[in-house]
Structure 1
Amino acid sequence: MWRCPLGLLLLLLLNGHVALGAQKGRGRRELAPGLHLRGIRDAGGRYCQEQDLCCRGRADDCALPYLGTICYCDLFCNRTVSDCCPDFWDFCLGVPPPFPPIQGCMHGGRIYPVLGTYWDNCNRWWQAGNHSAFWGMTLDEGIRYRLGTIRPSSSVMNMHEIYTVLNPGEALPTAFEASEKWPNLIHEPLDQGNCAGSWAFSTAAVASDRVSIHSLGHMTPVLSPQNLLSCNTHHQQGCRGGRLDGAWWFLRRRGVVSDHCYPFSGRERDKAGPAPPCMMHSRAMGRGKRQATAHCPNGHVNNNNIYQVTPAYRLGSNDTEIMKELMENGPVQALMEVHEDFFLYKGGIYSHTPVNLGRPERYRRHGTHSVKITGWGEETRPDGRKLKYWTAANSWGPAWGERGHFRIVRGVNECDIESFVLGVWGRVGMEDMGHH
């Protein structure tokens, strides 16, 4: 059965070298290489459906003009993937195509692909591309294994917001990046792999930066997501999802060690056996501080310092309040809804393009994720209008997006990114300022 991968299929694997199923004496039937070099260009097109054409077996007459060449609506085309008409799978087989519907946007009844920028006709300001980590994964699997933040309960969503007020005459800069204000204290994104643990990765990422900033650089840990995944088990599900409020409770009450001390075990999806047991515990030392009661799971590391935070607080969802908090106290954590096109993000200023509106629900699924917002900026469009954006770190490794980061439209609650934003203070005492 065909499944719908997140990345565009590597049609080039066949690219003229092998025509699967072709027998001696038969000519190869393929689309001209230029047409499928970057994936079928108009995957949203209707060919078989318009002609009501679906043939059994191999029927070379079962063909239609297609972008200067021909495509087929017979079962034989299914063997090469390269010469089926774009809607063959949907219309003739009733299954999802082995590549996602075209990533582009509609203007005047025409779909403009993502392979170019169409300043006048298209409302897209970002580029899509292949991301090898997602090859062969269905959209369902991407949502199940690459996200992993459970939407907060209504009581947590109603958490009291801390309002920040700009002083009279105070103006925020048009651009800001945490790594420029606090060099060497803002950590690079980690990779959660196929562990649905963004709840632990984004929490550890924000806490790492804030402990570093609030200790004035005396402590610069990369905190351990695995410590949270394995030990924060009350109402949490490790690599099958978790809640942000539970993660921050654990960091405040129990604390975690560094990623170096307790490295990520990188559990793959559907791996047999139970989740890895908790290998790090802590005990109270007085004045709210805690110390580890076990050696580092990484036997080569001796430093098992426990890092803690104060209670997390929620910011107002006005972008200027989030900006002021970010600029004064460091990166913040944000919830966001991830749609099918976000997996293919390669660069630029992302906004969700509902190209799959009107298609079956399986193409339009989305899930909740959490990320670290690190800054903001704005870009001037050719028509002179300004496009405001956030910069944020994801947890899908450095090969995704802009070196593991992305930009997303700011000020309009794009993908709910401004709806639930949290800050926290690193728990730093005078004694912590004396040693690294």
Structure 2
Amino acid sequence: MIDFKALAQTYGTPLYVYDFDKMKTQFESLKEAFRGRKSILAYAVKANSNLSVVKHFAQLGSGADCVSIGEVRRALMAGVPKYRIIFSGVGKRDDEIREAIESDILYINVESEAELGRVEMIARELGAKARISIRVNPNIDPKTHPYISTGLHDNKFGVEIVAAKRMYIQAKNSDHLDPVGIHFHIGSQLTELEPIYEAAVIVADLLRSLQAIDIELKFFDIGGGLGVRYDNETTIEPYDYAQAILSALKGIDVTIICEPGRFLTANAGYFLTKVLYEKNNGAKRFVMVDGAMNDLIRPSLYKAYHRIEALDKSGEESIADVVGPVCESGDFLAKNYPLPPMEHNDLLVIHSAGAYGFGMGSNYNTRGRSAEIAVEGANVRLIRRRENFEDVIALEREYL
């Protein structure tokens, strides 16, 4: 059990707390599901990019799925081998492409014909041969929140089947491109297996058609997106997930790459915030806390639900909005949430905050970002100190 009160007293609030043991358990459950097949688990760094988190997964044998050159650098700094690093993302700058090629990572995931042209041109300038994969958009409804759906033609990600085939032929015939993989990712927080299986079948069929014209790919990248339980969702078991992918790939000898993020970190993370006071506007009850949308924006951005635990509190619960100090009506951590009477300095634990929490934070309202803590067995350590005012203004001060 994590002693949240002791952590809050030692490190202050707002505070992010990560259970590294739980992260390891999640990683190993997915690794076990693909046991017996060539596979790489490439942690999706965007889910939680703290260097200590990335290093934790690297020490478990993870690769890294990166969507900026900054994330590629983080992965390398944290000890992820370059041959397990993938550079994805729809809008790569020339300097990012150049650095990725020079860093000799596993491959660049290409998301458009225009991007393929840029990669080829830059590789030619470098006198290099760039390993690439192409992200295929299978036009499958992932049945998730529209903001995190990525596999429909309405989404900006990937290319449709005919364009992908044309791009692979171009890459095959190029002296500066080496097509090594094929990729799809239909969305995040996926809780239904059927769309994943349908997408895998479509992309596996494309892979077979490429093999028929002597384009031999080594990697079948299934993306990530496995959902987790925030409230009462029914989630996909890793074994069932793996079996669906393997059945789609029947008869094809490739290395499977999986890019889990939220699955590994979401329920291993907690956001601690202290109550400042209660406020009642007629019929509306507010619990004012020191955490805000700049610390955890998911509720404001996605109307996301997070379970809230009022530590060591009892009494008759009533509905309240949990709101922060940021000067926006959209600054809330929960709406209409049942809570007992709260007093100054009471502690709330926001659960399932390990993915897309700190990383989506900001300094809005000149608020320093929270500290981050790792808990591993009986050991607790600071993995990012709390920002102070000097940190927030550091890049502006010299220009006054």
TM-score by length of 2: 0.25
Higher strand proportion (structure 1 or 2)? 2
Higher CA-based Rg: 1
